[in-house]
Chain A
Amino acid sequence: GESVGLHLPTLSVQEGDNSIINCAYSNSASDYFIWYKQESGKGPQFIIDIRSNMDKRQGQRVTVLLNKTVKHLSLQIAATQPGDSAVYFCAENMDAGNMLTFGGGTRLMVKP
């Protein structure tokens, strides 16, 4: 079946460096994508979203890139901080704003 998945289960970066978390999706009909951050024992926290009519969207220290040709989504975090350590999930919207399908998650570990 079609799904959303991640290339790297764990990413370790040095504090201050930039982080890039990747996500592949297979449903070409998906038109809305979201990145969530989940800290241990907490619910997912919305980070940034992007629609399929865009290639790039920037937020505060974060940028999401969407490559529809290869069905790839990435989250870039600038100047990574210890507080960025968490599991990051990409989610794919498959039904006009309703059901989200989540990827497997990537754990980001920031080394001081």
Chain B
Amino acid sequence: GAVVSQHPSRVICKSGTSVKIECRSLDFQATTMFWYRQFPKQSLMLMATSNEGSKATYEQGVEKDKFLINHASLTLSTLTVTSAHPEDSSFYICSARSINTDTQYFGPGTRLTVL
């Protein structure tokens, strides 16, 4: 149980394009999903908290117009990196928390490389 998937697992794109990453909870309903970014050899940094049916809450320093988050259902949240630039290259990881637990379960991550 508590499986979270992400798609795609890896994406390479040209500078200026937009990239959408999907996060799905496969066997539970997630009232809250979280998006993290992780640079090499560093810890996870929370970008935003997403609650189903409402606007995401962004951490300080994270541009909400650049990182668009949609949490349209209890099993799906999407992160769109708009007009991506090389400095956006990173490992993006989502997590999901079910209704009945405080534990966050993580997806496998998406490696974004912007050329």
Which residues of chain A have a CB within 8 Å of any CB of chain B?
32, 34, 36, 41-46, 49, 89, 93, 96-105
Complex Cα gap A103–B43 (Å): 7
A46 touching B103 in the complex, CB below 8 Å, given contacts A41-B111, A97-B97: yes
Partner of B32, one of A36, A44, A98: A98
Return chain B residues, CB-CB under 8 Å to A98.
32, 49, 97
Given contacts A89-B44, A98-B32, A99-B46, contact A44 B102 (CB under 8 A): no
> Nearest A residue to B43 by beta-carbon distance?
A102
Instruction: Known A-B contacts: A41-B91, A100-B34. Give 12 more (CB < 8 A).
Output: A43-B6, A43-B93, A43-B106, A43-B108, A43-B109, A44-B95, A45-B106, A46-B103, A46-B106, A98-B32, A102-B43, A104-B43
In the complex, what's the smallest C-beta–C-beta distance from B68 to chain A, in angstroms?
Answer: 20
Least CB distance from A35 to B in Å reads 11
Interface size of B as a range: 20 to 34
- Smallest CB separation, A64 vs chain B (Å): 13
Residue-wise, chain B 1-19 has the 8 Å CB interface mask toward A (1 for contact) of: 0101010000000000000
- A-B pairs with beta carbons under 8 A, tally: 54
A102 to B105 Cα, complex, angstroms: 14
Q: Are B111 and A46 in contact (CB under 8 A)?
A: no
B70 within 8 Å of A (CB atoms): no
Q: How far is the CA of A100 from the CA of B32 in the complex (A)?
A: 12
**Across chains A and B, which 4 residue pairs bring their CB atoms closest together, nearest first?**
A97-B102, A43-B106, A43-B109, A44-B106
| Bound Cα distance A89, B38 (Å) | 13
Q: Are B103 and A44 in contact (CB under 8 A)?
A: no
Contact between B106 and A36, CB atoms less than 8 A apart: yes
The smallest beta-carbon distance between B37 and chain A, in angstroms, is 12
State the Cβ distance, A59 to closest chain B Cβ, in Å. 13
